[in-house]
Amino acid sequence: MLNFIRNSIVRVFSTVVLIGIVLGLGIFTLIIGMYNYDRSMAELQTKASNTANLAAISLVEPVWNFDDAALQGIVKAILLDVDVQGIRVTKAGSDKAELETVREGLSVKTFEELLKNPTNVQTSAKIKREEKDIASVQIITSTNKVQALVRYTSVLIAVFAAVLVLLLSGFIWLLGKRIIQRPIEALRVSADQLASGNLNYAIDTSRRDELGSLAHSFDSMRNAIRKMLAVIEEQNRTLEEKILQRTAELRQKTNDIQTMLQNMPQGILTVVQGAVIHPEYSAYLEQIFETRDIAGQKLMNLVFTNTNLGSDVLSQVEAAADACIGEDKMNFGFNSHVFVTEFDKIMPNGQAKSLELSWSPICNEDDVCEKLMLCVRDVTELKALAAEAGQQKRELEMIGQILAVNQEKFHQFIDSSGEFIQKNQEIIEKTDAKDMEAIGLLFRNMHTIKGNARTYGLLHLTNTVHETEQTYDNLRKNTEVPWDKEQLLDQLKQAANAVREYAKVNEVKLGRKGPGRRGGVEKYLMVQKNDIEFLIDGLEKVDQKTPAEKDELFRRVLGTLKRIGTEKMDDVLAGVVDSLPSLAKELGKEPPAVVIDDGHILVPNQISDLLRNVFMHLMRNSMDHGIETAENRMAQGKPPAGNIALNLSLSNGRLWLKLRDDGKGLDLDAIRRKAFAMGMVQEDQPMSPEQLAQLVFASGFSTAAEVTEISGRGVGMDAVKGFVEREGGTIELQFIGEDKGTGLRAFETVISLPEKFAVHLDAQ
């Protein structure tokens, strides 16, 4: 039936119109029926309510006087209304009905059954006497009459609608045949004529409606086909020549591709279904894989056997290749990260080759991956050259770092680093179990090497030493890390090799063997030539001098001899001071101004390394913990750049070195909190500010908020204390200025060394 309707536009049109009319009439019928029903029900409700109210008025006296005869008479009168199905009278305050009557002839016998019938309407009214409720009356009214009326009305409307639909369907059918079907039939005949090749058939284009426009289109198509056929005839005459030309071009392209495949210095192959290598591949593949047995080989067998790739990686590659070939191109995108791009392969002759791979999908017009193209490059030589270039770049960087350091200072650093490494080796070799004191010494020595390396900008060494330092730090802080002597010695060996690498570059690449100027004029304070000549002349004529002149001569000779093998403090700390600007930049601060007042005191060469190590820690601490950023300093009325001052003096048979900065001072509250957290003090333990200050020398103590390469590892002040005490010295923090109650106290670091480590310039 459905196909019968679809085969005709007229039938489709008529069906659609009739369905619309039927739906409209149906909706109209439904609305009228609902309206009639609602109206009839409203009237019935009003009638039932009125009946209940009338019954309530009529039953006042009979109920009050207990007149059963009167009650029965009124009930019979109410039941004369055919719509009333039952009546019940109940006295006030009682659940039991005084009177309950159901119309005779009904299928139900009780009033309760009437209440349960959903087609009935229940109304009630209060029976009052002297404004008091004495009883109530309930009346059940049937809606059957209303429903019968609604059905009758609906049937009449439905019959009318059916007749109307029949009349309209006939009219629409005739109209469709006349207006639509005949013109379309004419167009169909025209289309059949055109399809059969009769391009001379006359098409009626006289109509001015849409079908006429369609006829014009058919006529235009006929004319276009005529012109197209003429062009096709012309093309057919030259088609054979073009085919021959295209065939020759295709043959040339094929030859070019074959030539490229045979001569390009790169391996190219395609992988087809089953992960099999296609017979067409570049000849260079045979040279790369050293075999001619390539076509038809499994991809995994040819390319990925005897490689440094793990079995998991190989399984992923094989699975990804199977998942891509024959599937949507999107699969290649999902799995492209699995395809390895670089590995080492052992060839049949035992030679190792480094190969690079490049994967690409070959897809058809439906974006289905038919093949995988794999480009293989032998990068063995390139890798060797890159490694050599990397090593050369590393050596050039090291040369630049070495040249930026004074040769004498560089050799001092190499010697001191070697001594620290030798000490660490001795400590590790004689320590069989985890010893916190030994670990502390290892850590301090390595931290000093790293600090000196950072001072001189020897970055490659800094990184290596930092890893060794981190191992010691883990041993200090984590009780679960075991003491592994062999591992520690191996790691220390790497640090020693890094130091030796710098020394080798300095000696071999730069040709700076030996100490260079170390021990030369830079190492010793210059003595004026005329002073030497004066002393020589005075010694030659000593017999001619008076006792007073002899005493003055001997005093000057002694002073000159004492100055040999000494240095100025400025020269000793030059490298440390030079490193502060880069450290300041790293901390986001301004470079400090460093002022050294040596008090005309020289220090012997033997103590120079000690002083460099000590003040490397102290000055870096001043920059990190003491001196504030430029913004903070300016907010406090200070200049943007901080100041660090070092004073030397001799008194009471001791050499005194006092270092201070104009930073924020010592945070005593932070020191107490840290000491309490580390279990060094009790929460309520009374301690003077001086006692709190000395806690900074405890091993592992640091108030830094976070660990960096500069601070926070709990090393520095304890290392300084150890260096100083090994030479018979002392170190302490002394407050300067008054306590302002802020918890921050200005202080200076006071170091005391034996007098033998100082020569006063006035001793002449």
Same domain, 396 and 370: no
Residue 520 lies in a domain: no
- Residue 102 backbone zone (phi > 0: left; psi -120 to 50: alpha; other: beta): beta
Are both 575 and 681 inside the same structural domain?
A: yes
- The alpha carbon of residue 177 and the mean position of all alpha carbons in its chain are separated, in whole angstroms, by 72
Residue type, 546: T
Q: What is the arrangement of strands in the sheet containing 654-661, beginning at the earlier edge strand? A: 593-597, 643-651, 654-661, 747-754, 730-735
More confident residue, 474 or 517: 474
Q: Band the pLDDT of 593: cuts 50, 70, 90.
A: very high
Same domain (yes/no): 249, 310:
no
Confidence of residue 716 (pLDDT cuts 50, 70, 90): low
Choice among 484-493, 592-601, 682-691, 710-719 with the minimum mean pLDDT: 710-719
Whole-angstrom distance, CA of residue 256 vs CA of residue 379? 26
Q: What is the CATH number of the domain that holds 431?
A: 1.20.120.160
Q: Given this model, what pLDDT does residue 649 score?
A: 92
Long-range contacts of 270-273 (CB under 8 A, 24+ apart): 270/362, 270/371, 270/372, 270/373, 270/374, 271/299, 271/321, 271/325, 271/371, 271/372, 271/373, 271/374, 272/325, 272/370, 272/371, 273/325, 273/326
CA distance 577 to 567: 16
Paired strand residues for 136? 90, 126
Q: 601 near 758, Cβ under 8 Å?
A: yes
Judge whether residue 690 has pLDDT over 50.
yes
Label residue 476 by pLDDT band (50, 70, 90).
Answer: confident
d(CA 87, CA 66): 17
Other C-beta atoms within 10 Å of 287: how many? 12
443 within some domain: yes
Instruction: Answer with the one of 310, 344, 378 that is the final residue of a domain.
Output: 378
Sheet of strand 352-363, all strands in order from the earlier edge strand to the far edge: 276-277, 267-272, 369-378, 352-363, 342-346
Give a three-class secondary structure readout of 59-126: CHHHHHHCCHHHHHHHHHHHHCCCCEEEEEEEECCCCCEEEEEECCCCCCCCHHHHHHCCCEEEEEEE
In order of 143, 303, 324, 364, the CA distances from 336 in angstroms are 78, 17, 9, 19
Q: Are 372 and 393 found together in one domain?
A: no
**19 & 155 share domain:** yes
Q: Identify the pLDDT of residue 529.
A: 56
Residue 722 has pLDDT above 50, yes or no: yes
Q: What CATH number corresponds to the domain at position 570?
A: 3.30.565.10
What is the model's pLDDT at position 764? 45
* More confident: 390 or 703: 390
Backbone angles phi, psi at 654, to 5 degrees: -135, 155
Judge whether residue 527 has pLDDT over 60. Answer: no
Residue 662 shares a structural domain with residue 750? yes
Query: Is residue 640 domain-shared with residue 680, that is, in the same domain?
Result: yes
Asked, for residue 471, whether it belongs to a domain, the answer is yes
- Percent of the chain with pLDDT strictly greater than 90: 7
Tokens for 100? 């309950």
Q: What pLDDT does 433 receive?
A: 87
In angstroms, the CA 492 to CA 508 distance is 24
List the single range of 192-196, 505-509, 595-599, 714-718 with lowest mean pLDDT: 714-718
Whether residue 397 lies inside any domain: the answer is yes
User: Is residue 554 in a domain?
Assistant: no
Which pLDDT score is estimated for 517?
41
Q: What is the DSSP letter of 207?
A: -
On whether the CB atoms of residues 671 and 733 are closer than 8 A, the answer is no
pLDDT band at residue 280 using 50, 70 and 90 as cut-offs: confident
pLDDT for res 680 = 81
| Mean pLDDT over each residue of the chain, to the nearest integer | 79
Nearest Cα to Cα of residue 64 among 127, 139, 125: 127
Q: Which of the given ranges, 10-24, 506-520, 619-633, 703-717, has the highest pLDDT on average?
A: 619-633
Domain co-membership, 6 together with 96: yes
Q: Say whether pLDDT at 3 is over 80.
A: no
Q: Are residues 341 and 399 in the same domain?
A: no
Which amino acid type is present at position 252?
Q
The bridge status of strand 593-597 relative to strand 643-651 is parallel
Last residue of a domain, one of 228, 256, 284: 256
In a domain, residue 549? The reply is no
- pLDDT tens track for 329-384: 888 888 888 888 888 988 888 888 888 888 989 898 888 888 888 888 888 888 87
User: Which pLDDT score, from 0 to 100, does residue 715 have?
Assistant: 44
CA distance 390 to 246: 53
What pLDDT is attached to residue 523?
Answer: 45
Place of tokens 């490193």: 579
Residues 74 and 59: beta-carbon distance below 8 Å = yes
Q: Are residues 241 and 288 in the same domain?
A: no
- Strands (DSSP E) found in 662-758: 666-667, 730-735, 744-745, 747-754
Query: What are the helix (H) ranges across 595-750?
Result: 608-621, 630-635, 668-677, 689-694, 717-726
Domain containing residue 152: CATH number: 3.30.450.20
pLDDT at 472: 85
Between 162-171, 298-307, 378-387, 521-530, the lowest mean confidence (pLDDT) is in 521-530
| Span 207-235, average pLDDT | 75
Same domain for 356 and 299: yes
With a pLDDT cut of 70, the percent of the chain lying above it is 84
Q: What is the arithmetic mean of pLDDT over 555-570?
A: 72
Q: Judge residue 115's burial from the number of C-beta atoms within 10 Å of its C-beta, 0-12 exposed, 13-18 middle, 19 or more buried.
A: middle
What is the extent of the structural domain holding 700?
566-760
Predicted confidence at residue 762, as pLDDT, reads 62
212 within domain boundaries:
yes
Q: How many domains does the chain have?
A: 5
> Which value, to the nearest 10 degrees, does the dihedral of the CA atoms of residues 489, 490, 496, 498 take?
-160
Residue 712 pLDDT > 50: no
Q: Which of 360, 378, 396 is the last residue in one of the domains?
A: 378
Contact yes or no for 420/446 (Cβ under 8 A) = yes
Helix, strand counts (H, E) of the chain: 26, 19
In a domain, 516, yes or no: no
What CA–CA distance (Å, rounded) separates 144 from 211? 58
Longest dimension (CA), the chain: 177
Report the pLDDT value the prediction gives residue 524, as an integer from 0 to 100: 43
Considering the domain architecture, whether residues 82 and 136 belong to the same structural domain is answered as: yes
As a whole number of Å, the end-to-end CA separation of the chain is 134
Mean pLDDT of 46-73: 80
pLDDT in tens, 103-116: 877 777 778 877 78
Identity at 735, one-letter amino acid code? F
Cβ atoms within 10 Å of 362's Cβ, excluding its own: 14
Banded model confidence at residue 656, pLDDT cuts 50, 70, 90: very high
* pTM of the complete model beyond 0.75: no
pLDDT at 693: 84
At 677 the pLDDT is 81
Q: Where on the phi/psi map is residue 729: left (φ > 0), alpha (ψ -120 to 50), or beta?
A: beta
